[in-house]
Structure 1
């Protein structure tokens, strides 16, 4: 009797243990997939086991509910198996099998094999992906891997087995979707990725352009570094492999390591330049700059040992780079002058937000609080906006301080001129300083005016895509564009002449020193290199793309007449003139059309911009060619025609205007033709 009781107890506990270890069966509702299979997966890590051994271990309940694959156990991609049992709960009433697609979102996975094992024992290979094979579009859905469509019949029970060889991330998402669900999720993912890259690229263009205009080299280096960061994110999303070298998989590893170590190396260079005292090298600046040699060494080592150890070394350098850039950035801002409170608040808020996202990502690796790929994009966006906003606010504050210092210097020169016996010399010095400050101010105002147009164009493109975005994303992007437009407008407003009757340096020149000031500035400019000939259609097409959306929104027809004629006028000069003319034409034309094209005039050419707007009188034409002169109903800054006139005069081009009040305006720019 005792032996029988022992046998029954042993049988009971064996069945209980088998029931506990065995993975749960996932039930498919009719016509629906499963958006997240990961909570139902069990795992086994044995690279040497065969598919049959893995299947037997799964069915005998030997899989673990947790993933046990360390990234640093060996200098090679860690490997693991994931399994789940699925039953189609659809009523078996003779209907056709249901189609499904398995999708896996695992950034930079090295290799992946997926199998479906049916109750009959038939094993079907769904996908066999390797990063060492050419890019196959049919294996991808935006940034995810996908299998071909496979069927699961009603009441059929199947086992899914997936073998991973991980890249730098073990965080993944797996879903079983119907073809309709896959199409919807792929569309949403495509819109999200497009919005992210469009937003970050527009921010980087503005960031670089602003600091280029301010001649702030540290700011421009930051913009380049964020450009490298965006390229690295694009590499994680697989865009480099998809678009640049789909048939050269051997470039995958070297490209990734180059971006990783270039990002840390440039960061150390920025740190070293930031802590250099008044342009002079210190031990700290030399040491930080020398750390970039470790990045170069790491990249060289990746050619001999492209495994997880070198990647981990790159991540350590990246962490050290972030710390050094943060501390060096604070040191640089303080060395340039007292840090503005807004700059400090933005930097502090950005730091807290980034640290919080990193903490959530690290703590939530097991529970997937935040997906790694999305968190990396969030961290990058926070760093970009915080750095761009804080650094720009600091530079603008320094400009105000510099302007106040210039005003104080001018006042001191005035007082000295009144007291000095050499009154003429003092007055010339005073006027010279004032003219130089005014001309510098005009240059900065023109740069802000030119930057405003591409920002407006990007804003219109964003508004066109906004309907497909989530409301929080749309609101954050709109706020960012509002801030960039407000910053550009405020800078233009600050550089405009005062309306209190005070005479500016450009409106009065009693000593005739303005020409000397202009010559001094011209001398400091490098002679431009000789421009190669190019087709004018390049400029015409670009201008039409920039203002096409704005014209459509006003109900106007913006036409351009293509031309194969060539010219050697610097393209940036011609682009600035054409964009200002078309911008004004679209802005002030209420109905009708705007036309841009080129006319042949013998050996010369004429770039023409015609509109059906309100037209200009002779007096208005002469008035609006001067800076900051505009009509009573104008919402602009009075710089567009002035910029065109000045650029044409500086490059020896004839700029004319023909207009009939109430019937439209025609602007003509004579250009030398090239063969």
Structure 2
């Protein structure tokens, strides 16, 4: 309770700022507190008698205190007063003798130097003790017990209702008396005895309560904020954080007496076991938060198992402390785990920082605050009387808020990163939707162009039909004139008859092609693609290259299949003729096979020769445009055009060859129905 050090009341914000400054360096804060306490004690001392403060003031008479430590199970004031000559002056700047099995007695002489009687408050600044006795002893009068309380005394039965033990002191004008204070406590012997006017005590307690409620309220707000982020960062992580912060808030409330004053007034004796259980729960929760935040199970499985073993030990210790909390061994078992947990947590934070875990920097800052807090409390406990325990506790409570805020910032950084990734995904989805709309617009434009081209084609078809119709009559006249020619030269007549038959077929084909389709025929946007028998390609190739093959002494055979192919017929015929022409002209073969093979969802058109073959380097070179063989007189576009045709959807092209073993050219084609 740092408010008892200064003579003037402080506001809440300056108090919090001063506690934050104290967190930067324990040594500087402790020295400042010691100097302040010694100056206050010197100013409030009149020889061996302490002058009670006036107005809105207080004093801590450490320089005038005498003490005696007695090994006793109960407080016996008369037996202690009989040993008055054994009381010794206080050597340290603060009243703290560490853990004592017996009783600690304090004796100080006070005097009301004013001309009026008055009331003062003797503030012990502790909410719970095993046993406390405060007596006023005036010469020639029986001792007056101002306060007696043990661990089961309810707050309402205390002479001054407060979360701290306070004894009222009435002094007549000019009266001098001795104040005897006896204390037994299993949680330590620190006792910042303070004399204050009622106004000063109310102000100080109000400021202290406000500070503690601000801390607890802020921690509850942090829990609510973390829960609101649960869906983004994951409920296990948020649950561990909420458990740690919630248990920390309960730990602060229990230490300051609020839980037993407002929630469990009939369970005053549960203060110490509740403290142990809450401390163990905090350690388990903070380790769980560290494991999940750093991803130990995924990145550092050995460290993860070690932390889990530590958690299991803490669970066993926590369960045991609920039944054996009065045992010194049990208390040490709990407190000795604290530095190990702090080191494990700090080590985990370092691993998270080295692994570049999102939010690792504030996470590391929070773990450093925990480690520094543990070191501070250890220094206070190992050097009783050298440092103010109340200031250390206030610092501990403020640090809990800081580290909780740091952990929330770490979670928030992770949430923002996840939100950023979600925004990027959403932006990508929006862009994809925009591209789809653009494609839809392009498709509609393509359909419009198709309709325009179709209209133009219908016009051309009509013109072809008219032309073919106009040719019919001259052809009939030529047929009649052939009778005269046949009588004079039968051979010439035969040739003319064949030519006229060809022209007749052409005109009939033109007329048939110009006929409009039925209304029920499906219109295809892929203009030029047709489904037709694959054997027609083989037959056309055999007829086209038959004379050339016979003249070169090459045997050309076909092996067809009753299967349809769906593709652009003119382009397929061009590709197939290029493959056959290459085999006849450049393979130096004696046999060429043109075959069609059926597959489940496609078919293969193969041109196979028994020529000299090609190696892989020659195959790669001949695939490029304008590349020609060594004895070629062509333009070098044959295989390149075949590859362009094979780039259509559902098409493919492959060349297989080996020197001396011939060549096999394979076209993959969509199978028609």
Normalising by the residue count of structure 2, what TM-score does the alignment of the two structures yield?
Answer: 0.50
1:156 and 1:173 map into 2 onto residues whose CA distance is 24
The answer to whether residue 28 in structure 2 is matched with residue 24 in structure 1 is no
**CA-CA distance at 1:405 after TM superposition:** 6.8
**CA-CA distance at 1:105 after TM superposition:** 0.4
- Counterpart pick for 2:402 among 370, 374, 382: 382
1:410 and 1:367 map into 2 onto residues whose CA distance is 63
**Residue 101 of structure 1 aligns with which residue?**
121
The question of whether the paired residues in 2 share the 8 Å contact of 1:298 and 1:313 is answered with yes
Change in Cα spacing, 1:372 to 1:25, as seen in structure 2 (3 Å) is same
**CA-CA distance at 1:114 after TM superposition:** 0.8
Runs of 4+ off more than 6 Å = 408-419
**Residue 117 of structure 1 aligns with which residue?**
137
The answer to whether residue 147 in structure 2 is matched with residue 127 in structure 1 is yes
> Which structure ranks higher in relative contact order (CA pairs < 8 Å, sequence separation ≥ 6)?
2
The answer to whether residue 192 in structure 2 is matched with residue 173 in structure 1 is yes
**CA-CA distance at 1:146 after TM superposition:** 1.2
**CA-CA distance at 1:232 after TM superposition:** 0.9
Change in Cα spacing, 1:177 to 1:343, as seen in structure 2 (3 Å) is closer
1:342 and 1:266 map into 2 onto residues whose CA distance is 20
Task: Map 1:270-669 to 2 at 5 A.
Answer: 270-274=289-293, 276=295, 282-302=301-321, 303-304=323-324, 306-332=326-352, 338-339=357-358, 343=362, 347=366, 350=369, 354=373, 366-368=386-388, 371-401=391-421, 403-404=423-424
The question of whether the paired residues in 1 share the 8 Å contact of 2:96 and 2:384 is answered with no
2:288 and 2:310 map into 1 onto residues whose CA distance is 8
**Residue 240 of structure 2 aligns with which residue?**
221
1:109 match: secondary structure = coil
Range with bigger deviation, 219-228 or 300-309: 300-309
**Residue 83 of structure 1 aligns with which residue?**
107
- Counterpart pick for 1:65 among 84, 91, 111: 91
**Residue 268 of structure 2 aligns with which residue?**
249
- Counterpart pick for 1:45 among 44, 69, 79: 69
Could you list the per-position Cα deviations for residues 106-126 of structure 1 after superposition, in whole angstroms to 9, with x for gaps in the alignment?
A: 254222111111122421111
Could you list the per-position Cα deviations for residues 3-27 of structure 1 after superposition, in whole angstroms to 9, with x for gaps in the alignment?
A: xxxxxxxxxxxxxxxxxxx983212
Could you list the per-position Cα deviations for residues 226-278 of structure 1 after superposition, in whole angstroms to 9, with x for gaps in the alignment?
A: 11111111110112211222123343343223212222223333344455556
2:129 match: secondary structure = coil
The question of whether the paired residues in 2 share the 8 Å contact of 1:29 and 1:90 is answered with no
Higher-Rg structure is: 2
**CA-CA distance at 1:387 after TM superposition:** 1.5
**Residue 279 of structure 2 aligns with which residue?**
260
The question of whether the paired residues in 1 share the 8 Å contact of 2:363 and 2:406 is answered with no
2:135 match: secondary structure = strand
1:106 match: secondary structure = coil
1:132 match: secondary structure = coil
**Residue 158 of structure 1 aligns with which residue?**
177
The question of whether the paired residues in 1 share the 8 Å contact of 2:367 and 2:403 is answered with no
1:45 match: secondary structure = strand
**Residue 225 of structure 2 aligns with which residue?**
206
2:305 and 2:370 map into 1 onto residues whose CA distance is 26
Could you list the per-position Cα deviations for residues 590-614 of structure 1 after superposition, in whole angstroms to 9, with x for gaps in the alignment?
A: xxxxxxxxxxxxxxxxxxxxxxxxx
**Residue 207 of structure 2 aligns with which residue?**
188
1:385 and 1:401 map into 2 onto residues whose CA distance is 24
Change in Cα spacing, 1:379 to 1:266, as seen in structure 2 (3 Å) is same
Could you list the per-position Cα deviations for residues 616-643 of structure 1 after superposition, in whole angstroms to 9, with x for gaps in the alignment?
A: xxxxxxxxxxxxxxxxxxxxxxxxxxxx
1:155 match: secondary structure = coil
**Residue 143 of structure 1 aligns with which residue?**
163
Change in Cα spacing, 1:240 to 1:293, as seen in structure 2 (3 Å) is same
1:307 and 1:375 map into 2 onto residues whose CA distance is 28
**Residue 8 of structure 1 aligns with which residue?**
none
The question of whether the paired residues in 2 share the 8 Å contact of 1:41 and 1:65 is answered with no
1:340 and 1:226 map into 2 onto residues whose CA distance is 18
**Residue 36 of structure 1 aligns with which residue?**
60
**CA-CA distance at 1:332 after TM superposition:** 4.4
The question of whether the paired residues in 1 share the 8 Å contact of 2:96 and 2:385 is answered with no
Change in Cα spacing, 1:28 to 1:207, as seen in structure 2 (3 Å) is same
**CA-CA distance at 1:176 after TM superposition:** 1.8
Normalising by the residue count of structure 1, what TM-score does the alignment of the two structures yield?
Answer: 0.50
Change in Cα spacing, 1:167 to 1:372, as seen in structure 2 (3 Å) is farther
1:99 match: secondary structure = strand
2:220 and 2:287 map into 1 onto residues whose CA distance is 23
2:227 and 2:204 map into 1 onto residues whose CA distance is 35
Task: Work out the number of aligned pairs and report it.
Answer: 390
Over the residues paired in the alignment, what is the CA RMSD in angstroms?
A: 4.0
The question of whether the paired residues in 2 share the 8 Å contact of 1:33 and 1:178 is answered with yes
The answer to whether residue 67 in structure 2 is matched with residue 55 in structure 1 is no
The question of whether the paired residues in 2 share the 8 Å contact of 1:354 and 1:383 is answered with no
1:144 match: secondary structure = coil
Q: Which runs of 5+ in 2 are unaligned?
A: 1-45, 444-673
Could you list the per-position Cα deviations for residues 440-461 of structure 1 after superposition, in whole angstroms to 9, with x for gaps in the alignment?
A: xxxxxxxxxxxxxxxxxxxxxx
2:390 and 2:125 map into 1 onto residues whose CA distance is 13
1:318 and 1:241 map into 2 onto residues whose CA distance is 25
